[in-house]
Amino acid sequence: MSEQNGIDRLVSGVDRFVRTVAGQHHPERPSPAADTPPGDALNDRERRHAAGLMRVNHTGEVCAQALYEGQALTARSADVRKALLVAAQEEEDHLAWCRERLDELGSRTSVLNTLWYGTSFTLGALTGLLGDRVSLGFVAATEEQVCKHLEDHLHNLPETDARSRAVVATMHADEARHGTRALEAGGVPFPGPLKALMTLVSRVMTETSYRG
């Protein structure tokens, strides 16, 4: 991957924004649900609950795309910028998988995704301005939060919803790997109080996305 100049990165960022919000995803891996038997039929309450959780997961991935893109825009090191964009591409699979599962459940993505993208992009760019080690530390702290959410979803998804469970389990493994890589690349571990603040912010996103 050759190094892009500022204008190229801006154009790339706009393109990712449009594709992310419009649902034009290009996954490199098939969905983990593709070869997973559907299991027993879900009743209406279970279907609505599963859809709410998968909508939260989809919005989380929208935020991840925006964070990575914002951080890459202001990254100081070309190697860090490349690592962020590679992670964003890997997580584009998650966007597609969650969207597919929402379609199967007869539901939709959050109407607030554009707002969440803009907010997350700004946060990512500001974090990147603090330096690459802080930016990578933010990735690790964010992925830690995401893993906790996904673990909670695995606990709360209907037992018979094997297809959603397959998607969430694979996402969890990917997110944990991204967090580990960020620390190994020199990320600064975030202190507990800052992680607590991040938890409060993510809770707002979770509750609003679950409802729509």
pLDDT per position as a tens digit, 23-41: 667 788 999 999 888 767 8
Percent of the chain residues past pLDDT 90, beyond the cut: 67
- Whole-prediction pTM: 0.89
Task: Inform me whether the pLDDT recorded for 67 exceeds 70.
Answer: yes
Please give the pLDDT value at position 212. 79
pLDDT tens readout for residues 127-153: 999 999 999 999 999 999 999 999 999
Helix (H, G, I), strand (E, B) or coil at 23: coil
Orientation angle between helical segments 78-104 and 132-156, nearest 10 degrees: 20
Per-residue DSSP letter, 28: S
Domain hosting residue 151, numbered range: 6-21+40-211
* pLDDT (0 to 100) of residue 13: 64
| CA-wise closest residue to 146 among 113, 185, 180 | 180
Residue 32 lies in a domain: no
Task: Give CA–CA dist 195/143, Å, rounded.
Answer: 11
pLDDT score recorded for residue 186:
93
CATH of residue 65's domain is 1.20.1260.10
Encoded amino acid at 86, one letter: V
Distances (CA, A) of 87 to 8, 13, 25, 93: 19, 14, 15, 10
Tens-place pLDDT, residues 51-62: 999 999 999 999
Residue 71 binned pLDDT confidence (cut-offs 50, 70, 90): very high
DSSP state of 130: T
* Enclosing H/E stretch for 10: helix 6-22
Q: What is the mean pLDDT of residues 82-98?
A: 90
User: Does 26 reside within a domain?
Assistant: no
pLDDT at residue number 126: 93
* Overall domain count for the chain: 1
How confident is the model at residue 100, as a pLDDT? 95
CA 161: distance to chain centroid? 21
Mean pLDDT of the chain: 89
Segment 176-190 mean pLDDT: 94
C-alpha–C-alpha distance, residues 182 and 172, integer Å: 16
The secondary structure of 150-194 as a DSSP string is HHHHHHHS-TT-HHHHHHHHHHHHHHHHHHHHHHHTTPPPPPHHH
pLDDT value at 157 more than 90: yes
Q: Is the pLDDT of residue 4 over 60?
A: no
CA distances from 28 to 14, 89, 91 (A): 21, 9, 10
* pLDDT computed for residue 12 by the predictor: 65
User: Which pLDDT value is given to residue 1?
Assistant: 44
φ and ψ at residue 76, rounded to 5 degrees: -90, -30
Report the pLDDT value the prediction gives residue 130, as an integer from 0 to 100. Answer: 94
